[in-house]
Amino acid sequence: MTHEPQNRSNSGDRAYVDSTEMQRKLYKRSLLIIVLSQIFGGAGLAAGVTVGALLAQDMLGSESYAGIPTALLTLGSALASLLVGRLSQRHGRRLGLAGGFITGGLGAIGVITAAQLNSVALLFVSLLIYGAGTAANLQARYAGTDLAMPNQRAKAISIAMVSTTFGAVAGPNTVEVTGRFATAIGFPALTGPFLLAALAFILAGVVLLIFLRPDPLLVARELAKNTILPSRLATDNKKPQINNNRGLVVGAAVMVLTQIVMVAIMTMTPVHMKHHGHSLGDIGLVIGIHIGAMYLPSLITGVLVDKFGRTFMSITSGVVLLFAGIVAAIAPPDSMVVLIIALALLGIGWNFGLISGTAIIVDATDPTTRAKTQGTIDVLIALAGASGGALSGMVVAHSSFATLSLVGGGLALLLIPVVIWSLSKRNIPASQNIPFN
What's the CATH number where 79 sits? 1.20.1250.20
342 close to 324: Cβ distance less than 8 angstroms: yes
d(CA 257, CA 414): 8
Indicate the burial class of 7 (C-beta count within 10 angstroms; 0-12, 13-18, 19 or more): exposed
d(CA 370, CA 85): 9
**Coil, helix or strand for 19?**
coil
Taking the model in full, what pTM does it have? 0.74
52 close to 69: Cβ distance less than 8 angstroms: yes
d(CA 257, CA 350): 9
To 10 degrees, the CA torsion angle through 417, 159, 268, 181?
-170
d(CA 264, CA 408): 7
d(CA 100, CA 142): 14
pLDDT at 235: 36
Asked, for residue 70, whether it belongs to a domain, the answer is yes
Closest CA to 401 of 346, 319, 320: 346
pLDDT at 229: 40
d(CA 431, CA 429): 5
DSSP 147: T
To 10 degrees, the CA torsion angle through 159, 160, 164, 166?
40
Asked, for residue 232, whether it belongs to a domain, the answer is no
Q: Which domain holds residue 376?
A: 8-226+243-433
Tens digit of each residue's pLDDT, the chain (437 residues): 444 444 444 555 666 777 788 888 888 899 899 999 988 888 887 666 667 777 877 887 766 666 677 678 778 888 898 899 899 988 999 999 999 999 999 999 999 999 999 888 898 899 899 989 988 988 888 888 888 887 778 888 888 888 877 777 676 677 788 889 999 999 988 888 899 899 999 999 999 999 998 899 888 888 877 654 433 333 334 444 445 788 889 999 999 999 999 989 998 898 889 888 888 788 888 988 898 898 889 889 999 998 898 889 999 999 999 999 999 999 998 889 999 999 999 999 999 999 999 999 988 888 778 888 888 898 888 888 778 877 888 888 888 899 999 999 999 988 888 887 777 655 444 333 333 33
Asked, for residue 231, whether it belongs to a domain, the answer is no
Asked, for residue 3, whether it belongs to a domain, the answer is no
Asked, for residue 190, whether it belongs to a domain, the answer is yes
Helix/strand/coil percent split, the chain, to 5: 85, 0, 15
Question: How many whole angstroms from its chain centre is CA 363?
Answer: 18
pLDDT at 285: 87
Domain count within the chain: 1
pLDDT at 34: 92
For residue 11, give every residue at least 6 positions away whose Cβ sits within 8 Å of its Cβ, in sequence order, or none. none
Question: How many whole angstroms from its chain centre is CA 430?
Answer: 23
For residue 131, give every residue at least 6 positions away whose Cβ sits within 8 Å of its Cβ, in sequence order, or none. 72, 73, 74, 75, 76, 77, 78, 79, 80, 104, 107, 382
Type of residue found at 16: Y
Asked, for residue 237, whether it belongs to a domain, the answer is no
d(CA 323, CA 344): 11
pLDDT at 238: 42
**Coil, helix or strand for 146?**
coil
pLDDT at 435: 32
Asked, for residue 1, whether it belongs to a domain, the answer is no
pLDDT at 239: 43
Asked, for residue 59, whether it belongs to a domain, the answer is yes
